[in-house]
Amino acid sequence: MRLLKRIFAPRKPKAIELTPDLATEIRRSFESASADEQHFPSTIDPRIYHVKLVLSHIGPLGSGRVLDAGCGKGRYARIVKQHNPSATVAAMDLAVSMLGYADRDLARTAGSLLDLPYADSSFDAVYATESLEHAVDIGRAVAELCRVLKPGGRLVIIDKNAEHWGRLETPAWEKWFHRDELLSLLRRHCQSAEARPVSYWEDVEPDGLFLAWLAVK
């Protein structure tokens, strides 16, 4: 029985070091992937719970500033802007070709999660949806997300649950997260943090694949 458990247990992600060559590989991968609308869509249904959760946690922004960190083609940022027309919505992504799809009323910037091109305490809210998993140096990326957030600002991270590693095909560098792993990192920089399983739809019970981490600096 123990042998069978070892054979059929989900594989664990290998520890990866972010070398200059790997950083270049990741950037090139996403530059190329921008042409793949099926797997990297430029729009998202606003009824999806992930979208609703981002909007509800960051709250009304008024004329404030919010960062979509790893925005891809700006599909979340577009909806956040629609709900907060007076706010500055900064859409940042590693791939310039991804940013080419983002709406022109967004503050589009190319950059890395490991070295965000913004000053300390620049934003009232920050969110990262399925982007932290590509950062490789996760502790540094979380520190950066918190650095650019104002005291009292709100942070949302939605990403995949490490307990379900192996359900999807992933690039070699991708990392999924245990609930308490990210909570520990967030609590180094934030006054409060919590995590919960989430589904794509409010009326569908979460299957464990996605977790949302919600923090206040």
Structure confidence by residue, pLDDT tens digits, 182-217 = 999 999 999 999 999 999 999 999 999 999 999 999
Asked if 212 and 177 touch (Cβ cutoff 8 Å), the reply is no
Q: How many CB atoms lie within 10 A of CB 46?
A: 14
**Domain ranges in the chain?**
43-216
pLDDT at 13: 57
d(CA 34, CA 40): 7
d(CA 105, CA 183): 33
- Output the pLDDT for position 14: 64
Q: 21 CB contacts (<8 Å, ≥6 apart)?
A: none
Rg (CA), the chain: 17
Q: pTM score > 0.75 for this model?
A: yes
110-125 pLDDT per residue, tens: 999 999 999 999 999 9
Choosing among 3.40.50.280, 3.40.50.150, 3.40.190.10, 3.90.550.10, the CATH entry for 43-216 is: 3.40.50.150
H or E element that contains 99: helix 96-99
Give the span between the Cα atoms of 133 and 176, in whole angstroms.
6
Q: Hey, which residues does 78 pair with through a beta bridge?
A: none
* Predicted local distance difference test score (pLDDT) of residue 5: 41
DSSP calls for 104-162: TTSEEEE-BTTB-SS-TT-EEEEEEES-GGG-S-HHHHHHHHHHTEEEEEEEEEEEEBG
Divide the 217 residues of the chain into consecutive groups of 10 and give the mean pLDDT of each group. 41 76 96 95 97 98 98 98 98 98 98 98 98 97 98 98 95 96 98 98 96 98
- Which position has the token pair 């998993």? 133
| Burial class of residue 84 (count of CB atoms within 10 Å of its CB; 0-12, 13-18, 19+) | buried
Q: Residue 67: CB partners within 8 Å, gap ≥ 6?
A: 90, 92, 116, 118, 122, 123, 125, 126, 127, 148
The residue behind tokens 């502790």 is 139
The answer for residues whose C-beta is within 8 angstroms of residue 11's C-beta and 6 or more apart is 165, 166
